[in-house]
Amino acid sequence: MHRGVQAMLSWIAENPGFPGLRLAGAAGPSELPEVEDRIFSPLPTDLRMLLAQHNGGALPTGTLLRAGGAGADTILGELERLGLLFGRASDDPELPLPYFRSNEGALLAFDRSAAPVADTWPVIDCPPDLPELRLVHRTFDGWCRLCLREWTAPDFGAEFSLERYLNGGLRHAEVEPDVATAHATVAHALRRAGEPERALAAYLIAARCVPQLAFCDWEGLKLAVLLRDAKSALTIGRRLCTRAPARGWQARATTPRQVADVLSHLVTEVEPPEPLLALLDQLGAQAPDDESKAAIGALRRAVFGGEAVPPPQPVRPTAVSPQLQLDAFWEATEQAYLHGAVRDEDLLLDPAYRPLARHRPLADMLRVRRDF
């Protein structure tokens, strides 16, 4: 038994009256074997030890699923539901094995496809309505250690806030520094807190973790370009422009043309231009249609031959009508950014906002605090 699991069991025994803690008794002699017979595998040792003492019930942050039986709040019941969600048989040996449902509805499960031995299965997050998985804990022990950090934190139980969200991400990054979701949480929180430089640093760390969260490169690139950080932008671009299938670009949450249009802001920043040209060549080779290929080609000619940089393609209708008075235009755009009607990609890809960049650095917009 690992230290985190042992510490969790000790904490549960020492805090029986803690708010939200209502665990069941030990698993019966047939309940753990029932699950193992269904999944054709032993349970991870640490989970087995936890269920052997507390077979399901409420933890301060969610519900520990029960071994044995079927239906709601059981491992096998959630396994059946995941089978339906993924269109796979419930005895599929690579179907995620659920064990916990958070108070927010997230289902945590072991990724059985990631390792041959149960004790090395990582923990993934299974959204309730989409077959999308992401690694959230390297080990079950890491989950236990983070739970204890959360339950004993001074802000536990406080009303949800940006600070609490940030603190939770920082705790996760401290407990599991090699897990991308921890750093992505920190980055997102810092971004909303109006600290773009620190957010960019966190996105850079998240994108280097294995497995990475592909969308972190796109989010980081937008910040780097808005901050005029050409070095970080090129570092991110070398990952983001690598060849990927359509589903890879979907995971990146962007397109080759959008990346090229964002990189176009670096034309005057990168000298010599060869690194930028190499990235544009990669993007042009992956453009999914003739229009995108032509746009990236025009941008390449602008970089190489000094032609005018072609205008980017907006991703959505302009949210704020341009105004002659730039102070008023900035204030209106800042309010729209505060409420989510204008986003980072709009500042970069919508030519309507170009006059603002001549008025003030667009990075100033990133310093607006946006509470939840």
CA distance 125 to 151: 20
% of the chain beyond a pLDDT of 70: 98
* Dist. CA 103–CA 89, nearest whole Å: 27
CA–CA gap between residue 262 and residue 241 (Å, rounded): 12
320 secondary structure, DSSP code = S
**pLDDT reported for residue 9:** 97
Give me the mean pLDDT over the 67-74 stretch: 90
- The residue among 73 and 129 whose pLDDT is bigger is 73
Give the pLDDT confidence score for residue 128 in this predicted structure: 64
Question: What pLDDT score does 317 carry?
Answer: 96
Mean pLDDT on 281-294: 95
Mean pLDDT of 221-250: 95
Q: What is the mean pLDDT of residues 286-312?
A: 90
Check pLDDT > 90 for residue 132. no
pLDDT value at position 129? 62
What predicted TM-score, i.e. pTM, was given to this entire model?
Answer: 0.93
State the pLDDT at residue 130: 58
Domains of the chain, CATH where assigned: 3-150 (3.40.1580.10), 326-365 (no CATH)
Q: Output DSSP code: residue 22.
A: E
pLDDT value at residue 299: 93
Alpha helices in the chain (DSSP H): 3-14, 31-39, 45-53, 75-86, 140-151, 162-175, 180-192, 196-208, 215-226, 230-240, 246-252, 256-263, 274-286, 290-305, 326-338, 344-349, 354-359
pLDDT value at residue 218? 97
Give the pLDDT score at 85: 85
d(CA 190, CA 165): 10
CA distance 97 to 95: 6
HSE (side-chain half, CA atoms, 13 Å) at 250: 4
Angle CA(351)–CA(354)–CA(355) in degrees, nearest 5? Answer: 130
Backbone angles phi, psi at 140, to 5 degrees: -60, -35
Mean pLDDT of 9-31: 96
Q: In angstroms, rounded to a whole number, what is the distance separating the alpha carbons of residues 92 and 111? A: 12
pLDDT at 41: 93
Least confident of 138-142, 240-244, 264-268: 264-268
* Residue 314: pLDDT over 60: yes
Euclidean distance between CA atoms 203 and 186, whole angstroms: 8
